[in-house]
Amino acid sequence: MKLRFAPSPTGHLHVGNARLAIANALFARRHGAVFLLRIDDTDRDRSREEYETGIETDLRWLGIGWQEKAHQSARLDRYAAAVEALKASGRLYPCFESELELSAKREARLRAGKPPVYDRAMLKMTPEQRARAEANGKVPYWRFRLSDTTRRWNDLVMGECSVKLTAISDPVLLRTDGTVLYTLASVVDDLELGVTHIVRGEDHVTNTGVQIDLIEALGGKPGQFAFGHMPLLLDEAGGKLSKRLDGLSLRSLRHDGIEPEAIVSYLSRLGTADDPAVMSFDEAAAGFDLSRVSRSAARFDMRQLLGLNRKLLHQKSFAEIQDRLPEGATEDFWNVIRGNVDLTGEIAHWWQVVAGEITPPGLSDEASFLEQARETLPPAPWDEGTWKAWMTALRAVSGRSGRALFHPLRLALTGEEAGPELHALIRLMGRDRVLARLQDAAFA
């Protein structure tokens, strides 16, 4: 069994294609299959080495490895051989219409109440007509003549699927400049590289019917591949998820502090009846089943992803998070603040609170109370009982309790309305920093 993920190195991975990568990788892990990373880099103008590097970085960050790797740009001779075989069999035929002529044909068919399907006029061209066209400087592009049939398959996600080929225009497989299109290149790769299961987006359903026809034209067997088409993702408003939203690229999510386990956990269950839950990659793979994926489009909800990320961070031990902590941060620090971080990017802020400098809020109206707090602050060294002793003394001299007692202290010491328990934070800050913060806030 072999699966493949086939990104184009023309941009960054986003949650939409990450979902497909995760589905293929989890399916492969569960069934002990080979996972192939195929770089679809035949678009010479848009493909970039830095995008390929970024894709590999993102996949490894998610915990996805691959046993095999291929580049389409290194397989052009295989596509050329397939082209010649299709020409020899009569299934690939030359066309000379311009885009303007094709557009006029489509409009005429629509006016006549007919579907805008290519009329196969070029199949009637005689050798003499073709020779004259080429003598006049016209260069042909090449179409694949589809079978006049309906292609059917039992989809791993969608169930029984069918595509009526007579309702589709014969697809162009070879451009005038000699470059092959995805439809042909992908089939040649899947046949020759031993792929057995193709899991991709539902936008490929019609293309799958065409490719099944092409597979058999190139010598493949009926039913040689198992197909699974994942419904597309919608945004939170129910619209189509745009690839142009950089905030949903994996590199942006990583920069913002989303953990890879949260993304895998969320996307592996998105669109199923299973509730999102924090899982390791192996745990997600053990329970992954394409038949549980709904046939309806799934809605990507950033709030759910953040909720999983929050839960994941709250469970992480110091050893698991240490490489993302600021230099000098201790296990005590992590244990104190981890219940108050939703993103790893917030960790640096809390380290600044306990070990660096903050901009004090203006609390001049609380200057008298903050001076009382300074005067009653217990001497060092501090221990577990320091906070209680301080609050007892401060309550006695100020007459305050509850929010009136604690809120000004939290603002002065952290600059935040909420956060980790103050009794734990002050031990991390130390007496000198606490004294300085109280004074700074009183005179800010």
List beta partners, residue 153. Answer: 161
Q: Which helix (H) or strand (E) holds 197?
A: strand 197-201
Residue type, position 271, single letter: G
**CB proximity list for 128: less than 8 A, separation 6 or greater:** none
List beta partners, residue 70. Answer: 38
CA angle, 130 then 135 then 137, to 5°? 100
What is the reported pLDDT for 238?
78
List beta partners, residue 172. Answer: 143
Indicate whether 243 pLDDT > 60: no
In angstroms, rounded to a whole number, what is the distance separating the alpha carbons of residues 263 and 253?
9
pLDDT tens-digit readout, 25-82: 999 999 999 999 999 999 888 999 999 999 999 999 999 999 999 999 999 999 999 9
Q: What is the mean pLDDT of residues 71-100?
A: 96
Average pLDDT, the chain: 95
In angstroms, rounded to a whole number, what is the distance separating the alpha carbons of residues 427 and 14?
42
Indicate whether 118 pLDDT > 90: yes
What is the reported pLDDT for 360?
82
What is the reported pLDDT for 248?
87
pLDDT tens-digit readout, 311-357: 999 999 999 999 999 999 999 999 999 999 999 999 999 999 999 99
Backbone angles phi, psi at 94, to 5 degrees: -80, 145
Backbone angles phi, psi at 281, to 5 degrees: -60, -45
Indicate whether 244 pLDDT > 90: no
When mean pLDDT is compared across 115-124, 229-238, 342-351, 393-402, the lowest value belongs to 229-238
Which of 290, 249, 243, 247 lies closest to 271 in space, CA to CA? Answer: 290
CA angle, 92 then 2 then 91, to 5°? 10
How sure is the predictor about 258, in pLDDT bands with cuts at 50, 70 and 90?
Answer: very high
Q: pTM here?
A: 0.89
Indicate whether 296 pLDDT > 70: yes
- State what percent of residues in the chain have pLDDT above 70: 99
Q: What is the mean pLDDT of residues 160-177?
A: 97
In angstroms, rounded to a whole number, what is the distance separating the alpha carbons of residues 125 and 118?
15
What three-state secondary structure class fits 76? helix
- State what percent of residues in the chain have pLDDT above 90: 93
Indicate whether 205 pLDDT > 70: yes
What is the reported pLDDT for 247?
62
pLDDT tens-digit readout, 213-227: 999 999 999 999 999
